[in-house]
Amino acid sequence: MVQTYRLQHCTVQYVTMSAVTRFMYCTLYPTSYSTVSIGWLIICNLLEAMATVHAMAAVAAQLPDTPASTLRGHQGPVRAVRFNNNGNYCLSCGSDKIIKLWNPHSALSIKTYKGHGQEVLDIAATLDNSRLASGGTDKMIILWDVGTGQIIRKFRGHSGAINSIAFNDECTVIVTGSYDATIRTWDTRSRRYDPIQVLDEASDSISSVKVSNHEIISGCIDGKVRLYDLRAGKMNEDYIGPPVTSVSYSKDGQCILTSCLDNTLRLLDKDSGQLLNEFTGHKNSDYKIDSCFTHTDAHVVSGSEDGYIFIWDLVEGSVVTKLNANLSKRDIIYSLAFHPREPYLLTASAFGDIIFWKKSDNEGCTEDGS
C-alpha cells in the first residue's frame, strides 16, 4: 500500500508491508538536518502503526465475498478447476470424462474437450494458453491444442490413476503424480510416449505435484512432502504425519502450503521444512481437497467437506471468513483456484457446480447466510 506523509523533518514517500511477515518498510527522506528528537521518534512510531493499520485494512478488503456467476455444464462431480495464466479464462474437469474451457466472467462455456475414457482428475495449461494437459483414472496423459480442441499426443506409463498434473516453467515438460506412488516427467517436444524420468521415492499414492523453476514439490498419502531439486539432483523430504492431499507454493516461492486428512492446513518453510503455522476449522478427513494462497499471499483458502470455503489470515492463523453459495446443500468443495492478480476465486463441488466468486460492495454469502 502506498501512502505519502509530510512531516516537519522528513517525507515518507512509500510505505508497504510484506503480506507474509507483516514487516513494514518505509523510505524516509529528510527535509532538514535538525537533530532527531524524542518527539520525532514518537512520530515515527505513530507513523508505523498508522501504516500497518492501513496496509492490513487494504489486504483484508481484497477478498472475494459473493458468488458472481455459476458455471454449469458438468454431469457429476467436478474434480478440478484452474485459472489460465492471465486469469481471463478457466478450465474444469470431472467425473463425466470431459474438460471444459470457460469465460468465468460471463459464465460462458467456450469449448469442450473429449478423449478420456474415465473421469478426469486434473488439468493444467501452458503459460501461453495454447495447450493443456489432463490426466485421470484411465492412467493416460493427454496433451491438447486449446484452440482447435484436437489431441496433440497421448502419454502412457503410469499403472494407476493420475491424481495431479503440472507443466514446467518452459512448458516443455509435463509432470504427473499418480496412485502408483510415482512422479513421472514427459517431454512434450519428443516423439516418445514414455516418461523421461521416474521418481519413485514415495511409498503411497502421490496426491499433488507443483513445479517452480527447477523444483518439483509433491504431497503424498504416506504423510510426506518431498522437494526435488532437478538441477542439483537432490531430494529432501519432510514428514508431516497425516496423509497430504494438496501442496502449493507461495508467490515468492519461500513457503509451502499443505492440506492433510486431519482437518488441518500447514504452512512450511520451503528450505528448512519448519512448520510456520497451522489452519483449522474446516472439515477434511476423507477426500482430496485443494488449498491455495490468495493473490497477495496474505491469506490461504481451502475447500471443506461440509460445503464451505474457508479463508484464513496467513500470519494470525485465524478464520477471516467462511463462504457458501447454497446453505441448503452440504456439498464437498473438491477444488478451488485463486486468480493470479485479482480478488477472484473459483470453487468446484461434488454436485457439479463451479462458482466464480468476486469482491462485492455488499456482504457476501457467509456462515449465517446474510
pLDDT one-digit tens code per residue, 231-289: 999 999 999 999 999 999 999 999 999 999 999 999 999 999 999 999 999 999 999 99
CB 26 within 8 A of CB 10: no
Given 41, 61, 81, the domain boundary residue is 61
**235 and 326 housed in the same domain:** yes
- Residue 326 parent element (H or E): none
**219 and 157 housed in the same domain:** yes
**17 and 161 housed in the same domain:** no
- Classify residue 335: in a domain, yes or no: yes
- Classify residue 271: in a domain, yes or no: yes
**17 and 56 housed in the same domain:** yes
**What is this structure's pTM?**
0.82
- Classify residue 296: in a domain, yes or no: yes
Given 38, 61, 84, the domain boundary residue is 61
Which residues are within 8 A (CB) of 53 and not within 5 positions of it... i.e. 6 or more apart? Answer: none
The CATH number of whichever domain residue 122 belongs to comes to: 2.130.10.10
Domain count, the chain: 2
Q: Which pLDDT score, from 0 to 100, does residue 360 have?
A: 83
Residue recorded with cell 519432510: 238
**168 and 190 housed in the same domain:** yes
- Classify residue 363: in a domain, yes or no: no
**27 and 156 housed in the same domain:** no
**117 and 226 housed in the same domain:** yes
* Calpha distance 99→170 (Å, rounded): 23
**39 and 143 housed in the same domain:** no
Which one, of 20, 5, 18, 10, lies nearest residue 293 by Cα?
20
Q: What sign for the dihedral angle of Cα 189, 192, 197, 199?
A: positive
Q: Which pLDDT score, from 0 to 100, does residue 368 have?
A: 40
CB 108 within 8 A of CB 100: no
Which residues are within 8 A (CB) of 262 and not within 5 positions of it... i.e. 6 or more apart? Answer: 241, 242, 285
* Calpha distance 68→362 (Å, rounded): 12
Distances in Å between the Cα of 285 and the Cα atoms of 80, 180, 263 are: 19, 21, 6
**92 and 214 housed in the same domain:** yes
Given 61, 78, 93, the domain boundary residue is 61
- Rounded (5°) CA angle 291-213-274: 55
- Classify residue 286: in a domain, yes or no: yes
Torsion of CA 195, 199, 205, 210, to 10 degrees: -80
- Classify residue 217: in a domain, yes or no: yes
**9 and 105 housed in the same domain:** no
Domain that includes residue 308, residue range:
66-358
Which residues are within 8 A (CB) of 147 and not within 5 positions of it... i.e. 6 or more apart? Answer: 130
Residue 44, classed as helix, strand or coil, is: helix
Q: Work out the burial of residue 32: count CB atoms within 10 Å of its CB; fewer than 13 is exposed, 13-18 middle, 19 or more buried.
A: exposed
Give backbone dihedrals phi and psi of 48, rounded to 5 degrees, phi first.
Answer: -65, -45
**41 and 112 housed in the same domain:** no
Grid coordinates of 71: 458455471
For the chain, which ranges sit under pLDDT 50?
1-58, 363-370
- Classify residue 276: in a domain, yes or no: yes
**319 and 260 housed in the same domain:** yes
Grid coordinates of 230: 532437478
Which residues are within 8 A (CB) of 326 and not within 5 positions of it... i.e. 6 or more apart? Answer: 307
Q: Which pLDDT score, from 0 to 100, does residue 223 have?
A: 98
- Classify residue 36: in a domain, yes or no: yes
Q: Which pLDDT score, from 0 to 100, does residue 362 have?
A: 55
DSSP calls for 204-268: S-EEEEEEETTEEEEEETTSEEEEEETTTTEEEEEE-SSPEEEEEE-TTSSEEEEEETTTEEEEE
